[in-house]
Amino acid sequence: MNAEHMIHNANQIALYFSSYPREEAVAGVLDHLKKYWERRMKDQIIQYVAQGGAGLHELVVDAVKRLDVPQKHATPR
């Protein structure tokens, strides 16, 4: 996914949860990313945050920091 698209998607999620108290909002974003984002997308946003996370909503940045660390993809079958 191109970075711009990823940032937009992630920020949209954050905007929804931003109405909630901060801790609840971060947990909401984190839960959403865990439940619905595929490993490649998680890896991409984790790397993007590690590089500074420019343009990402602060709730996304906080949530992504709590995401699992990138894993190697399973070996081909």
Contact positions vs other proteins (CB under 8 A): 1-2, 5, 8-9, 12-13, 15-16, 18-20, 32, 34-41, 73-77
Of 51 and 75, the one with the shorter C-beta distance to other proteins is: 75
Q: What is the identity of the amino acid at 27?
A: A
Of 31 and 65, the one with the shorter C-beta distance to other proteins is: 31
CB of 42 to other proteins, least distance (A): 8
Residue 39 half-sphere exposure toward CB, CA atoms < 13 A: 6
